[in-house]
């Protein structure tokens, strides 16, 4: 058994993620949308889902990053962020593995450095998976409850 955070319900494009992004406040939405879009574009094997109330990006079913909106800011989080090189010192947090970058409306962020963190988190997860992500077959995914039934 590996030590990765696996989310087998992840799919190529989850409409619930789009709904969550659209529901965010006007000043926070562009931050969350832009950085989750960056996660989506990291590679053709990126999957996504809502987990613990926030959009989460996975390599196949192994989570590598997320966005979440708070009252006044957006977090761009990395499940193995403590292990990423961060020369721009953007990452915050004291957990064993997780780290995040806080984005505030109207405040500049080193977008190039944050993009490198997203790319590094994706590459790190691919490496942890042996560059061959475990395929998640539709049959192995839990079925979602149908709405309105």
pTM for the full model? 0.86
Q: Which domains does the chain have, with CATH numbers?
A: 15-129 (3.90.1150.200)
* Distance (Å, whole) CA 64 – CA 128: 11
Number of Cβ within 10 Å of residue 76's Cβ equals 28
Model confidence over 5-45: pLDDT tens digits? 999 999 999 999 999 999 999 999 999 999 999 999 999 99
- Chain centroid to Cα 100, Å, comes to 11
With a CB cutoff of 8 Å and minimum separation 6, the contacts of 9 are 49, 141, 142, 144
Model confidence over 75-119: pLDDT tens digits? 999 999 999 999 999 999 998 999 999 999 999 999 999 999 999
CA angle 37, 125, 86 (to 5 degrees): 75
């Amino acid at each position: 058994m590996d030590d990765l955070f696996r989310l087998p319900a992840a799919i190529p494009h989850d409409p619930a993620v789009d709904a969550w992004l659209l529901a965010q406040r006007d000043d926070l939405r562009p931050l969350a949308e832009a950085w989750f879009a960056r996660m989506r574009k990291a590679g053709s094997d990126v999957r996504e889902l809502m987990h613990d109330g926030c959009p989460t990006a996975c390599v196949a079913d192994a989570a590598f990053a997320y966005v979440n909106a708070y009252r006044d800011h957006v977090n761009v989080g990395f499940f193995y962020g403590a292990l990423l090189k961060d020369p721009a010192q953007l990452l915050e947090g004291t957990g064993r593995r997780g780290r995040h970058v806080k984005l505030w409306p109207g405040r500049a962020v080193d977008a190039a450095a944050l993009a490198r963190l997203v790319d590094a988190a994706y590459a790190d997860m691919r490496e942890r998976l042996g560059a061959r992500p475990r395929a998640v077959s539709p049959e192995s995914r839990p079925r979602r409850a149908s709405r309105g039934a």
